[in-house]
Amino acid sequence: MSQRLFIALLPPDSIQLEVRQIQYDFESRYSTRATLKAPPHITLIPPFEISSDRIEPLQIELEKFAKTRSPFTINLSGFAAFPPRVIYLDVVPNPVLPDLYLDISTTLANALGIIDPYASRPFVPHMTVAFRDLNSDNFELAWAQFCDRKINFEFEVTNLTLLTHDVQKWNVLSNFAFLEN
């Protein structure tokens, strides 16, 4: 049996609650619910499938990997978009994030043969507030409302999170703490 998983960075609960409110606003105003199926997050490795017997080796590898990293700060500032369907909170460029992505994707490919299905695309860290089910007309309406809206969050990332899909939604399966300073 296989399982669908992805690896992400989750903000603290207080920021998750505020981002969730933005997602609820999108749901009520623009009929988009897809983002409500996962906790607010920044994706590192997008959804992939592996057999259930490979989850434990994956968790062991992620635990080892996390112990080679130190906590770091992420800043979210304003909104950005991938037209014609995605609106997100923009992540202020941070040299740690591309390095983290490259290192984790290389580690997973070499150790477990897990390949990022979107590796050919540039890595653009972001926190999605509306996507897949946002139609193009509602995208235009929403983008007009949010393109200049100011929003700022700052948080320390202290771990990697492995999420699993239960057919309905994404749930946290495991957290892997970064090395304490």
Q: What is the pLDDT of residues 66-125, one digit of tens each?
A: 999 999 999 999 999 999 999 999 999 999 999 999 999 999 999 999 998 888 999 999
What is the predicted pLDDT for the residue at 88?
97
Q: What are phi and psi of 177, to 5 degrees?
A: -70, 140
For 2-177, CATH gives 3.90.1140.10
Q: Is the pLDDT of residue 38 over 70?
A: yes
Which pLDDT score is estimated for 181? 58
Three-state DSSP at 157 gives strand
Q: Where are the beta strands (DSSP E) in 32-139?
A: 42-51, 72-82, 86-91, 126-130
Radius of gyration, alpha carbons of the chain: 16
- Please list the residues that pair with 63 across neighbouring strands: none
Burial (CB count <10 Å: 0-12, 13-18, 19+), residue 38: buried
Closest CA to 164 of 2, 3, 1, 26: 3
pLDDT of residue 180: 78
pTM score of the predicted model = 0.95
162-179: average pLDDT = 97
